[in-house]
Amino acid sequence: MNRTILATVFVASTLVTGMLFAGIAFQDADAIKPNPKTKPFKGTFSGTFMTPDFTAFPIVATAATSSGIYTHLGSSTSAGTFFVDFSTFGIPGPGCITVLASPSTTTAANGDTVTFVLGGVFGIQCFFDSGLLPATSLASFCGGAVGDPHTSTVSVDYAITGGDGMFVGATGSGTVSSAVNHCDLSVPSGNSFTATTSGTINYAASNKS
């Protein structure tokens, strides 16, 4: 084999080897590149509201805790503070008040968290009974016959504002719908609820452990 052929073979093999290494390098870069994707986010949960705080009435604050199952988080617990403005009674709709921006944090079983603002864009709570003003006791609020229903529905938007663990920098949006029982005698405050949420979540796939 003459020198020209040897040189050609050497150059060709060098180019092929270089392309192979380049391909591996590009694959490695893709493997470690953050890959944020918008994904469906759904959850079903239930919980209780604590005794409402009327000290800043007509703004009423109520701490809430719940547990449920969410996509991407699995079995989780949530805690937050729910704010409503009773001065708006009847304005968003008959028997309804405005829900104000309310912070909440959901914690997965492994400790990763997602933070939310509920009602930052829209929020409404509609009551289907009497007893809207502060009462001296749960009995005086509920009154009537045993089992007399005092209920409301809550519809709010949610915005995901971050998190930790695999949800660092998470974003997303959607809605939450709740049904509230204000005379649940099985809990000290009398306030229990069930809820569902549906929307989207966006977080970097590279955050997964």
Each domain of the chain, given as residue ranges in start order, spans: 1-33, 37-131+138-207
d(C-alpha 163, C-alpha 100), whole Å: 21
pTM for the complete prediction? 0.75
- Alpha carbon 22 to chain centroid, angstroms: 42
- Summarised one tens digit per residue, pLDDT across range 56-76 is 999 999 999 999 999 999 999
- Summarised one tens digit per residue, pLDDT across range 165-202 is 999 999 999 999 999 998 888 888 889 999 999 999 99
| pLDDT confidence tier of residue 128, bands split at 50, 70 and 90 | confident
Q: Side chain identity at 14, as an amino acid letter?
A: T
- In the block, residue with structure tokens 């204000």: 182
